Amino acid sequence: MQVSEILAPGSVKVLPKASSKKRLFCDLADVSRERLAIDYATAFSALQDREALGTTAVGRGVALPHARIGGLDRVHGVFVRLEVPLDFDATDRKPVDLIFALFAPDGAGVAHLKALALVSRTLRDPGLCAKLRANSDPSLLYTLLTEGTASEAA
């Protein structure tokens, strides 16, 4: 599996800020509606419900919110870089500015886990995260995220 299989070029956004997790989930739901034809209310509530189970912030300014949504044909991603980091209740207490949301079909157990593992490995690279934080062009962010990210396990 590669990041380019789950992330479309138009699903990468740079936002000035989000005032709260709820506002960020509104923004993610809006992008998923525009780019992936996922119902806004469904995407928003699925992200909220998952986050209620525990934070999806993984540390070092990165969050991986994810949700299962009926009717999808495969796992889809949305990437957002915030210009002003947001408190996300991360265990390392660092605010989040790199958010890669995943939307998976209801029955996509293994595919969902592989996508989460791939995105986690990709955003664990400090050099890549520094490049993502230094750029505001969505097409360049997409290129940075998708070049050379094939998973050996997939």
How many Cβ atoms from other residues are within 10 Å of residue 43's Cβ?
24
What does the pLDDT read at residue 150?
44
pLDDT at position 112, please? Answer: 84
> Of these residues, 66, 68, 81, 112, which one is catalytic?
66
**Could you read off the pLDDT tens digit of each residue along the chain, which spans 154 residues?**
899 999 999 999 999 989 999 999 999 999 999 988 899 999 999 999 999 999 999 999 999 999 999 889 899 999 999 999 999 989 899 999 999 999 999 877 788 889 999 999 999 999 999 999 999 999 999 999 998 554 443 4
pLDDT at 96: 96
Q: Report yes or no: 112 and 76 within 8 Å, Cβ to Cβ.
A: no
66 flagged as catalytic: yes
Specify if 129 maps to a domain. yes
| Residue 46 maps to a domain | yes
pLDDT at residue number 148: 58
> Does 105 map to a domain?
yes
> Would you say residue 51 lies in a domain?
yes
Using an 8 Å Cβ cutoff, are 98 and 62 in contact? Answer: yes
Determine the pLDDT at residue 111: 80
CA distance 77 to 75: 7
Cα separation, 33 vs 103, whole angstroms? 12
Residue 133 covered by a domain: yes
102 within some domain = yes
CATH of the domain at 86: 3.40.930.10
Range of the domain at 97: 3-145
Which pTM value belongs to this model?
0.92
The pLDDT score that the predictor gives to residue 151 is 41
- Residue 16: Cβ within 10 Å count: 7
In a domain, 154, yes or no: no
Q: How many domains does the chain have?
A: 1
Contact between residue 16 and residue 80 where contact means Cβ atoms under 8 Å apart: no
Angle at 23 between CA 30 and CA 108, to 5 degrees: 55
Is the residue at 94 inside a domain? yes
